[in-house]
Amino acid sequence: MTEQEIIELLNQHEWKDVEFKEAKTAVPKNAYETVSAFANTEGGYLVFGVKKNGSEYELVGVKDVDKVQNDFITTLRQKNKISCIIEVTETIKTVDGRDLIVFYISEVNRHKKPVYLDGNIKRSYIRKGACDVKCSDVELKRLLNDASTDRYDGTTIDHFDITKCFSSKDITWYRRQYEGRIGNRSYAELDDEEFLFQFGLIKETPSGRKPTIASILLFGQDGYLRDVLPRPVIDCQRFLYNSTSTDEGRWHDRVVCDYNLIQTWTSVLEWYYRFAEIPFTVDPMTMQRKDQPVDFIAFRESIVNILIHQDYSDQTRKPVIQHFTDLTRFWNPGDAFASVEELLEPGEKEVRNPLIVTAFRRIGFSENAGWGLRDVCISWRKLGRMPPVIINDKEKKAFELNLKQEILLSEDQIAFQKTIGVQLSQDEAEVFAYACKNLSIFSIHEIKTVINKPVSTCVELAGHLVDQQLLVSNSDKSFSLAPKMKQRFLATLNSKAHDEAHDEAHDETHDELNETETIILKSCISASSSEELLKVLGYKSRTGNFKSALGNLLRLHLIKMTIPESPRSKSQKYVLSEKGFDLLKKLEKFSD
């Protein structure tokens, strides 16, 4: 931590990963609570030599640096004080003539959690915002579950009868997928019980073969499944407005999956296909139509991520998929054991549910071990969209993935970049666009999600943009848009907003639609073909009135085509735009 960073932090009022203590002549007792909290959460900086006066912070310095430093480090090595040895690095900083001691407390491995004080596990702390908070019983249980060397999904259930607890049709479906994969060793001659045993999904115990929790989650009959998991596996919700809307309306379409993972996979996929964008394309080699949605890979990996990595021992919180017009949010109980940076690197990762993970990979649902999130980022980048937002929340022990529909290099951004007087490569243009849209400090690893290049390449690229005075470096690993560029970009946005407001003021009103247009608008709340719309209207063919009404709604951007690149496609359908949805709500409110 640099001197400048300390000064900047002192001018703020909330810190998640920094705690200041006076420690002028001695180590304060509550400093060890902060150590416990940082070690149990995501690590952080503990700064001695700063006094808090109300909401203000005053630099007082540490008088006897050697004594305070030695006392603190020595106590951290005493097992009767703290439950395990904590990795700590320390530096001395002099600010305004006063000595500060800066300790970095690392997050410990999950096997060492919870880190507690004075031999009392109840004195375990986690970091919440800028505070050290004693763990609740539920939070302690989550830490202890994750610390266990025996994974939860491998636990056997001794009171279940393996001849009754499984859905044979789901096992049959799985075995068909497995045997159809090239390179898989065939187990076709085995019966279902032996097949599951060979895969480690049922185990030998002193009282005979018993199912594991993984096998019940994957193939269990409803009653047996709910004995293991009383909550839903996933709650899927679709909203016809954007994620920042203040509208508190209900979801438009919802699927709550409270059945085994095989059935859940099918149900979530069917739900996804109801709103997926499916362009009409033909494979030039086979001349067969390809009906795979453009974002299928990203969605598949995101759905699989929820199924295989959630904390199934958490009986109180359910995973949620929320699909808005501007993004899709995937939320899961249970944080990843690896950091976000590690998750984006190739290679195997330690996982919460190894049996479930392996079962899915054997049938190709998570094609590359340790590559799931990388595949999401790569797929999303190919679509030209903003990089996924990944939140691995150690405090709440939750994981969130947001897939934004927003185009990274939009027409407006390309037009703006033409005015800055600098020729940018494709990668540079995308990183600069990200800086413009982000308008705050971002890290090297965020750059990696934008361009999918090695960290060394990202560092070099960022440095080049700094040299061109497009970015500024806030530290070795963080950057932001240069102030002059930020000012120019915001001025461009304000000018565009002014022009749009002017155009809207002179735009023709469309609050009053004719009867045909209103019927079509209401019918397009779900994607509808011309034939379906004609049937609702009671028309036998595409009359002039119908064509005029449909064209007017498209021109006013109240509805949109599902296949805009092929207007005459036989599979073409029409669906409400966000603008049309807002108008429909106004019309319905007025009619009430």
Domain ranges for the chain, please list them.
Answer: 3-147, 153-228, 234-404, 411-506, 515-591
pLDDT at 327 (0 to 100): 93
Per-residue pLDDT tens for 365-409? 765 555 678 888 888 988 999 999 999 998 889 999 999 999 999
Count of C-beta atoms within a 10 Å radius of residue 501: 9
pLDDT at 346 (0 to 100): 74
pLDDT at 328 (0 to 100): 95
Q: Same fold for the domain at 234-404 and the one at 515-591?
A: no
Q: Which residues, other chains included, contact 187 with Cβ-Cβ below 8 Å and sequence gap of 6+?
A: 175, 178, 179, 194, 195, 198
Count of C-beta atoms within a 10 Å radius of residue 560: 18
Q: Which two tokens stand for residue 151?
A: 């994974």
Given a cut of 90, is residue 509 above it in pLDDT? no
**C-alpha span between 258 and 267 (Å, rounded):** 10
Per-residue pLDDT tens for 210-233? 999 999 999 999 999 999 999 999
Percentage above 70 pLDDT, the chain = 89
**C-alpha span between 159 and 67 (Å, rounded):** 59
Q: How confident is the model at residue 424 (pLDDT cuts 50, 70, 90)?
A: very high
Fold of the 515-591 domain: Arc Repressor Mutant, subunit A (1.10.10)
Per-residue pLDDT tens for 113-128? 999 999 999 999 999 8
CATH number for the domain whose boundaries are 411-506:
1.10.10.10
Q: DSSP readout, 456-512?
A: HHHHHHHHHHHHTTSEEEEETTEEEE-HHHHHHHHHHHHHHHHHHHHHHHHSPP-SS
Given a cut of 50, is residue 13 above it in pLDDT? no
pLDDT at 373 (0 to 100): 82
Per-residue pLDDT tens for 553-581? 998 889 999 888 777 888 899 999 888 88
Percentage above 90 pLDDT, the chain = 51
Give the orientation angle of helix 444-451 with respect to helix 372-382, to 10 degrees.
Answer: 60
Q: How confident is the model at residue 592 (pLDDT cuts 50, 70, 90)?
A: very low
Given a cut of 50, is residue 506 above it in pLDDT? no
**C-alpha span between 32 and 24 (Å, rounded):** 16
pLDDT at 343 (0 to 100): 82
> Average of pLDDT values for 20-33?
91
Q: Which two tokens stand for residue 18?
A: 């920094």
pLDDT at 248 (0 to 100): 62
Q: How confident is the model at residue 249 (pLDDT cuts 50, 70, 90)?
A: low
Give the orientation angle of helix 31-40 with respect to helix 65-76, to 10 degrees.
Answer: 50
**C-alpha span between 537 and 542 (Å, rounded):** 11
Higher pLDDT, 519 or 367: 519
Q: Establish whether the linkage from the previous residue to 354 is cis, with ω within 30° of 0.
A: no
Over the chain, what is the mean pLDDT?
86
**C-alpha span between 417 and 264 (Å, rounded):** 45
234-404 CATH choice from 1.10.357.10, 3.30.565.60, 3.40.228.10, 3.30.70.20:
3.30.565.60
**C-alpha span between 118 and 431 (Å, rounded):** 49
Kind of pairing, strands 574-576 and 559-561? Answer: antiparallel
Q: Which residues, other chains included, contact 199 with Cβ-Cβ below 8 Å and sequence gap of 6+?
A: 358, 359, 362
CATH number for the domain whose boundaries are 3-147:
3.30.950.30
Give this prediction's pTM. Answer: 0.74
Long-range contacts formed by 78-83: CB under 8 A, 24+ apart: 80/118, 80/119, 81/32, 81/117, 81/118, 82/32, 82/35, 82/36, 82/115, 82/116, 82/117, 83/112, 83/114, 83/115, 83/116, 83/117, 83/119, 83/121
Residue with tokens 């067969």: 288
**C-alpha span between 61 and 441 (Å, rounded):** 29
In 274-363, which residue ranges form alpha helices assigned H by DSSP? 296-309, 340-343, 354-361
pLDDT at 588 (0 to 100): 67
Per-residue pLDDT tens for 520-549? 998 988 889 999 999 998 888 888 888 889
Q: Which of 3-12, 265-274, 302-311, 467-476 shows the lowest mean pLDDT across its residues? A: 3-12
